[in-house]
């Protein structure tokens, strides 16, 4: 959005994007801030979704991959990971792609953080009836790669 938009316009745009990405879970997060820090809720919607998520340079699924990697690396962000794993599914990422992104993150932020994120994903997938997640078998001597 341009710098000439009003606070209300940014919020309206952000709310539209929030609903398309996070659905009712995102709205619950915003509602949970009403009695302690409504301005934070406003900024999440207006800036986070009205400004950042609305930028055309990355598609929503790509933004969610970046977000999952960042939250995994930060550690201690399990509630936010739950919201964003749901959002990743909402914008078209598959459980397999999410699990692969979390596996990939282990090399950069360590197995403990990647495991914590994976267990959050397992909870979300279970709630959505998406378990078990089909995975490609690891390549071993007993299970060599197949040619395409």
Domain residues for 111? 59-130
Do 76 and 121 sit in the same domain of this protein?
yes
Residues whose CB is less than 8 angstroms from the CB of residue 47 and which lie 6 or more positions away in sequence, other chains included: 10, 14
Contact assessment for residue 68 and residue 116, using Cβ atoms and an 8 Å cutoff: no
Do 52 and 67 sit in the same domain of this protein?
no
Reported as a single tens digit per residue, the pLDDT across 14-57 is 999 999 999 999 999 999 999 999 999 999 999 999 999 999 99
> Please, which pLDDT band fits residue 70 given cuts at 50, 70 and 90?
very high
Do 70 and 88 sit in the same domain of this protein?
yes
| pTM, entire model | 0.86
Count of domains for the chain: 2
What is the CATH number for 112?
A: 1.20.1290.10
Do 72 and 123 sit in the same domain of this protein?
yes
Give just the sign of the alpha carbon dihedral 90, 53, 74, 61. Answer: positive
Reported as a single tens digit per residue, the pLDDT across 48-60 is 999 999 999 999 9
Is 145 within the bounds of a domain? no
Do 65 and 125 sit in the same domain of this protein?
yes
């Amino acid at each position: 959005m341009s710098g000439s938009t009003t606070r209300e316009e940014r919020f309206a745009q952000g709310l539209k994007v929030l609903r398309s990405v996070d659905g009712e879970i995102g709205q619950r997060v915003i509602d949970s801030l009403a009695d302690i820090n409504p301005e934070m809720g406003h900024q999440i919607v207006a800036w986070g979704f009205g400004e950042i998520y609305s930028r055309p340079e990355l598609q929503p699924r790509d933004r969610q991959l970046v977000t999952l990697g960042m939250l995994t690396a930060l550690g201690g962000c399990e509630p936010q990971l739950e919201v964003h794993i749901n959002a990743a599914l909402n914008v078209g990422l598959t459980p397999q792609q999410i699990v692969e992104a979390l596996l990939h993150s282990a090399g950069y932020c360590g197995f403990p953080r990647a495991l914590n994120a994976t267990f959050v994903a397992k909870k979300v997938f279970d709630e959505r009836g998406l378990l078990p997640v089909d995975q490609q078998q690891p390549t071993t001597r007993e299970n060599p790669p197949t040619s395409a």
